[in-house]
Amino acid sequence: MRGEPDLGMNMPCMILTIVGLALICLAEVKAAEEAQEAPYEMPPFEMNEVPEGLPWKYLRIEGYEMITLFPKEMSRRVLLSMQRGQMMLPRAFQPQRSSPIGVILFDATATKSPKAFPAVQAHYGSQRLSHSPVSWRSFSGAIRVYDQDSCIVAMRYENQLPVALLSLRSTAEVALVECRPEPSAWLYQGLFGPFGVYEPGSVGTYSDRDELRFASLLWIDEPTTEALRRDPRLVPELIPLDRFFNAPPPDRKSDAQRFALWQSQARLFVHWALLAKKNPPFEASAFWQFANDSRLGAVSEEKFRSYFDRDYATALAELRAYLPVAVKNGVDRAVPGLHEAATKTEFVYRAATESEVARIKGNFERLETQRLKEADPELAKRYEQAARRSLLRATHFVPADPRVYGILGLLEFDAGEPLEARRHLERAYRDQGLGSRGLLALARLRLDEVKAKDQGAFKLQADDLERVLEPLFAARERKPALVETYRLIAEVWACSEVQPTRGHLAVLQEGVRFFPWDEELRDKTRALHRQFGYEDDPAAVASGER
């Protein structure tokens, strides 16, 4: 008997719409995504120096801005696909950005031949993006580079296929990893782990008929899955849900068998929660609310019951009963209005200004400079020179864009030119043109200036303290949050002549809640409480609890 997941009334139309929109052209990349631990080959390309007067166009939709060498409809399809990829997640799990994601779309004649680098393993879900100044992900013909403050996707349009359409799953996956507080490990695995619900091949296709397909569930591996299809009595015992939700996942290397069970149960739980017929039923919104609670700390059985109307034992029994159904063939479902909902986004499309070209292309070149410093110093230097040319050229136009000065200041800061960096960063700050990284760089330069003038034991007086903290608190207001902001705030207070109040130090506890994995921030928070006589501070966060 063939069991079919129900995609009807139990799943909000928003979820179905979003997932459906995210499915264009994913079949072409299934082979590249199938291996559980397949490394992502990094194929960097070097953009040729773009001649002045090249007819760049500027395209903008909510959350994205693009410079493109292609007509409106081609460019529009690329941005739509990326926007839909992020929208595969509900808003609570989408990273809120103070700056739009930048996109560069050009043809192959604008680049030199790809250069091969050693394969690099991408561990999304466990990788903490703030640990490295610049993170990256590559897919066919494109590179996505981001330091959380800035995110630029540069791609070639080849063979009449916009390669951004192949990045939908990648866009949604990065969105989940970047959101703060970070998602639970089981949620990441269930959605984006190998053969997860949103993994290419597990969900498809989008068409004018508004049709979706959800694939059958993979349990452990293909032979085990096939055995379950033939004999439902082979359903194994599952991990008790209290341990599944609240304990760390088993170690992949030292206990591969238990890790495979945990990984498969994560897929099963998400599949059951979003796709299965259930009695009593619950809405998919309840699942997302529960998932949101789980990333804030341990979840209780009472909390689980409040969302799913069943206790752990009942839910576990339902999961075991659903497993033989879930491994059957996938099914198609029609969702009325899906195509219509996809065509209501408003666009701006016009000739690009010199500042817009510099802001997007120059920022990409700056990020590439940082990304390639160790792997290829020569290429990194060329990117640095290209970025400086792109940005300086735009400063000759009136009115000057303060964001261009902000990127230029950050470029000089990373290049070890503090005087030039300070000049550009101060100008951009005055005109509100700095992003989070620029604000951090400015605070660091102001702190260094005070240190250089102080010949004795260094202590920040009230005026200097305010000048250094001012850009840091501006950075704190920007999204997404950066752990470096809170680390530097802690460093500044540690050398302060002014006694902070408990309220002043509470901002560090906020940082620990956002970044519970960061030992450096926790250590600095504890040390500050001791330094200023707050050893009895009851804040659980400062001790590392969640």
As to burial, measured by CB atoms within 10 angstroms (0-12 exposed, 13-18 middle, 19+ buried), residue 220 is middle
Q: Kindly give, in sequence order, each residue whose CB lies less than 8 Å from that of residue 332, ignoring residues fewer than 6 positions away.
A: 211, 212, 213
pLDDT digits (tens, 9 = 90+) for 233-263: 999 999 999 999 999 999 988 999 999 999 9
Helices in 204-255 by DSSP H: which ranges?
222-230, 241-246
Q: Kindly give, in sequence order, each residue whose CB lies less than 8 Å from that of residue 94, ignoring residues fewer than 6 positions away.
A: 86, 87, 175, 179
**Which residue ranges make up each domain of the chain?**
13-181+342-350, 217-331, 457-546
C-alpha 220/C-alpha 266 separation (Å) is 11
- pLDDT(17) > 60: no
Helices in 332-482 by DSSP H: which ranges?
338-341, 354-357, 363-371, 377-394, 402-414, 418-430, 436-453, 462-476
pLDDT digits (tens, 9 = 90+) for 301-329: 999 999 999 999 999 999 999 999 999 87
| pLDDT of 51 | 54
CA distances from 103 to 44, 82, 349, 515, 520 (A): 16, 10, 14, 28, 34
With cut-offs at 50, 70 and 90, classify the pLDDT of residue 282.
Answer: confident
Which of 34-38, 404-408, 426-430 shows the lowest mean pLDDT across its residues?
34-38
| pLDDT of 200 | 59
pLDDT digits (tens, 9 = 90+) for 481-536: 889 999 999 999 999 999 999 889 999 999 998 888 789 999 999 999 999 988 76
| pLDDT of 133 | 62
| pLDDT of 69 | 84
Give me the half-sphere count of Cα atoms (radius 13 Å) on the Cβ side of residue 196: 22
pLDDT digits (tens, 9 = 90+) for 214-238: 788 999 999 999 999 999 999 999 9
- pLDDT(8) > 50: no
With cut-offs at 50, 70 and 90, classify the pLDDT of residue 179.
Answer: confident
C-alpha 79/C-alpha 439 separation (Å) is 29
As to burial, measured by CB atoms within 10 angstroms (0-12 exposed, 13-18 middle, 19+ buried), residue 122 is middle
Q: Average pLDDT of the chain?
A: 77
- pLDDT(204) > 60: no
Give the position of tokens 């349990």.
Answer: 219
C-alpha 182/C-alpha 195 separation (Å) is 21
C-alpha 288/C-alpha 93 separation (Å) is 9
- pLDDT(7) > 50: no
- Measured in residues, the chain has a length of 546
- pLDDT(131) > 50: no
Backbone angles phi, psi at 104, to 5 degrees: -120, 125
| pLDDT of 147 | 82
Nearest of 157, 160, 174 to residue 101 by alpha carbon: 174
The torsion defined by the Cα of 478, 479, 485 and 486, in degrees rounded to 10, comes to 110
Most confident of 65-69, 427-431, 459-463: 427-431
| pLDDT of 165 | 42
User: Do 486 and 443 touch, CB atoms closer than 8 A?
Assistant: no
| pLDDT of 203 | 55
